[in-house]
Amino acid sequence: MQKITIEIEKAATIFKLFGDKTRLTMMKILDKHDCCVCELVEIFKTSQPAISQHLRKLRDLGLVKEERRGQWIFYSINKRNEYYPFIQQILEQLPSQDDKLKELEEQGTRISCC
Amino acid sequence: MQKITIEIEKAATIFKLFGDKTRLTMMKILDKHDCCVCELVEIFKTSQPAISQHLRKLRDLGLVKEERRGQWIFYSINKRNEYYPFIQQILEQLPSQDDKLKELEEQGTRISCC
DNA sequence: TCACTATATAATTATTTACTTATATATTGC
DNA sequence: GCAATATATAAGTAAATAATTATATAGTGA
């Protein structure tokens, strides 16, 4: 296995963000699928500002990146982040959250919105 | 690599604890060396109650265990914890904190106290 | 038993965090 | 340009967190 090291302080900063279930689930989802904000609002059944604020924290650390596509802003994992290998190793150990996206597709929410 | 999975919710709970630099460093130290509370107080240059409270949180999740040896109570990583493999993979990626213990030895604090 | 040391716990306080409500900005399609 | 939609941001609030101070408990050695 490759040896990755990250300063303790930086790791703690990342874990602080990962200590919230919503953000951690978001990271797991975004690691496999780009999502727009309104999809995440649907998935987490919470308010749009709450989602935006979570995304901002993740973005401030460079863990995710945004990309505007017309009316929508899509978020995805920033795989160029210096710490992505560290993060990836963690996310790999979490169970897939694909079912959450599948629900959206079944509802038709995914297509209609984004 | 072996495949370990942990529920997202449980992982977030662990990360919440790891989101504090003191606790994360503690975990890294305890993964290799048992320590008594007074050593940790020395290492982190903080109050004894603060250290005790951090240890309690880690213990409440079963991440560390305590063992009385005479006057002192030694803490160590609970390697029997269901999630230890997950935790171990994380701790492996953090830089060694052995220098902190070495400092104590040089000061003589380690021996005199414990 | 008593003084001393190590540790835990309780209560208080200050800080941080996450959410809500309200509002601003940007894009689309008419 | 205007209405509608998507998103961000600001301000306020409630809840959670971490530290401090004070006190309790437990072991040691005289």
Contact at 8 Å (CB) between A35 and A29? yes
For tokens 């603060």, name the residue.
B50
Is A4 near chain B, with CB under 8 Å?
A: yes
pLDDT for A112: 44
Sign of CA dihedral B11, B17, B23, B26: negative
CA–CA min distance B30, chain A (Å): 14
Cα dihedral angle (B72, B77, B80, B84), rounded to 10 degrees? 170
The whole-angstrom separation of Cα B12 and Cα A93 is 12
Tokens representing B90? 């994380």
ipTM, two decimals, is 0.91
**The A35-36 sheet, strands edge to edge:** A35-36, A72-77, A64-69
* pLDDT tens, per residue, chain B with 114 residues: 556 688 999 999 999 999 999 999 999 999 999 999 999 999 999 999 999 999 999 999 999 999 999 999 999 999 999 999 999 999 999 999 999 988 877 776 554 454
pLDDT for B3: 63
pLDDT for B111: 42
For the segment A59-68, what is each residue's pLDDT rounded down to a tens digit? 999 999 999 9
Does B85 map to a domain?
yes
Instruction: Answer yes or no: do A15 and B12 touch at CB < 8 A.
Output: no
Q: What is the CATH number of the domain that holds A93?
A: 1.10.10.10
Determine the distance between B16 (CA) and C29 (C1') in angstroms. 46
Does B2 map to a domain?
no
Name the helix (H) or strand (E) containing B31. helix B21-32
Does B26 map to a domain?
yes
Does A101 map to a domain?
yes
pLDDT for A1: 58
Q: How many helices (H) and strands (E) does chain A have?
A: 7, 3
pLDDT for B102: 87
User: Is A108 a residue whose pLDDT tops 70?
Assistant: no
pLDDT for B112: 45
Q: What range defines the domain where residue B83 resides? A: 8-113
User: Is A28 a residue whose pLDDT tops 50?
Assistant: yes
Does B59 map to a domain?
yes
A4 three-class SS? coil
Return the residue of A nearest to B85 by Cα.
A93
Does B87 map to a domain?
yes
Instruction: Answer yes or no: do B17 and A18 touch at CB < 8 A.
Output: no
User: Is A103 a residue whose pLDDT tops 90?
Assistant: no
pLDDT for B105: 78
SS (H, E, C) B54-102: HHHHHHHCCCEEEEEECCEEEEEECCCCCCHHHHHHHHHCCCCCHHHHH
User: Is A83 a residue whose pLDDT tops 60?
Assistant: yes
Q: How many domains are contained in chain B? A: 1
Of B12, B21, B93, the CB nearest to A4: B93
Is B61 near chain A, with CB under 8 Å?
A: no
